Amino acid sequence: MLKSFITIILREMHIVLNTSSRVFMPIVYLLLIITFFSISLEGTTIGGYENILPQIIWLSCLLVSLLNMDSLFKEDYEDGTLDGIVINSEILEISLLAKVVAHWMFTIIPLVIVAFSTNLLLTAKLDVSIILLISLIIGTLTLSLIGSIAASLTLSLRGNGLLLSTIVLPLDIPILIFGTSAIYNASIGMNYNSEMLFLTTLLVLFLIIAPFAASFGVRNSLD
Amino acid sequence: MISNLISLENISLVRQDKEIINNYSLRINQKQKYNIYGENGSGKTSLLKIIAGITEPTKGEIHSNPSFDMNKDIFYIGHKYGLKNELTVYQNLEYALNFANNDDHTSIESELEEYSMKKYINIQVRYLSHGQKKIISLIQLTLISNKLWLLDEPFTGLDKVKIDLLLSKMDKHVSNMGSIVITSHNAKENFDNIKLC
Predicted ipTM beyond 0.95 = no
Q: Is some CB atom of chain A closer than 8 A to the CB atom of B76?
A: yes
Mean pLDDT, residues B61-70: 86
Highest-pLDDT range among A33-37, A38-42, B99-103? A33-37
Domain count for chain A, please give it.
Answer: 1
DSSP state letter for B80: S
Q: What is the pLDDT of residues B13-34, one digit of tens each?
A: 888 888 888 888 889 888 899 9
Mean pLDDT, residues A48-69: 85
Which DSSP string corresponds to A123-160?
Answer: H--HHHHHHHHHHHHHHHHHHHHHHHHHHHHTTTSTTT
SS3 B180: strand
In whole angstroms, give the CA distance from residue B122 to residue B108: 12
Any idea which of A43-52, A56-65, A171-180, B50-59 has the lowest mean pLDDT? Answer: A43-52
In whole angstroms, give the CA distance from residue A219 to residue B148: 21
Any idea which of A40-49, A113-122, B62-71 has the lowest mean pLDDT? Answer: A40-49
Q: What is the pLDDT of residues B127-157, one digit of tens each?
A: 999 889 999 998 988 888 788 999 999 888 8
Domain boundaries, chain B: 1-73+148-197, 83-145
Asked if the model's pLDDT at residue A161 lies above 90, the reply is: no
- Residue B57: φ, ψ to 5°: -70, 150
Residue A165 pLDDT level (bands cut at 50, 70, 90): confident
Q: Is some CB atom of chain A closer than 8 A to the CB atom of B68?
A: no
In whole angstroms, give the CA distance from residue B160 to residue B164: 6
Chain B residue with minimal CA distance to A91? Answer: B71
Q: Which amino acid is at B148?
A: L
Q: What is the pLDDT of residues B68-110, one digit of tens each?
A: 888 788 899 988 888 999 999 999 999 988 888 777 788 888 8
In whole angstroms, give the CA distance from residue A97 to residue B161: 42
The residues near B89 (Cβ < 8 Å, ≥ 6 apart) are B112, B117, B120, B121, B122, B123, B125, B128, B136
Regarding pTM above 0.95, the answer is no
Q: How far is B41 from chain A (nearest CA, A)?
A: 16
Domain that holds residue A164: 2-222
Higher local confidence (pLDDT), A8 or A44 = A8
Chain B residue with minimal CA distance to A75? Answer: B84
Mean pLDDT, residues A31-50: 77
> Which conformational region is residue A36 in: left (phi greater than 0), alpha (psi within -120 to 50 degrees), or beta?
alpha
Mean pLDDT of chain B: 87
Q: Which amino acid is at B141?
A: L
Q: Kindly provide the residue ranges of all beta strands, DSSP E only, lying in chain A, ordered along the sequence.
A: none
Q: What is the pLDDT of residues B167-195, one digit of tens each?
A: 998 999 899 888 999 998 888 888 888 88
Contacts of A7 in chain B (CB under 8 A): 95, 98-99
Residue B123 pLDDT level (bands cut at 50, 70, 90): very high
In whole angstroms, give the CA distance from residue B80 to residue B152: 9
Strand ranges across the sheet with B74-77: B74-77, B148-152, B179-184, B33-38, B192-196
Which of A7, A10, A79 is closest, CB to CB, to B82?
Answer: A79
Residue A182 pLDDT level (bands cut at 50, 70, 90): very high
In whole angstroms, give the CA distance from residue B165 to residue B161: 6
Helix orientation angle between A193-222 and A71-79, rounded to the nearest 10 degrees: 20
Residue A175 pLDDT level (bands cut at 50, 70, 90): very high
Q: Which amino acid is at A144?
A: S
* Residue contacts between A and B (CB atoms, under 8 Å): 75
Proportion of chain A above pLDDT 70, given as a percent: 97
* Architecture of the structural domain at B1-73+148-197: 3-Layer(aba) Sandwich (3.40)
In whole angstroms, give the CA distance from residue A115 to residue B16: 48
Mean pLDDT, residues B55-71: 87
Q: Are B11 and B24 spatial neighbours (Cβ–Cβ below 8 Å)? A: yes
DSSP state letter for A166: H
pLDDT for the residue numbered B102: 78
pLDDT for the residue numbered A88: 85
Chain A residue with minimal CA distance to B103? Answer: A3
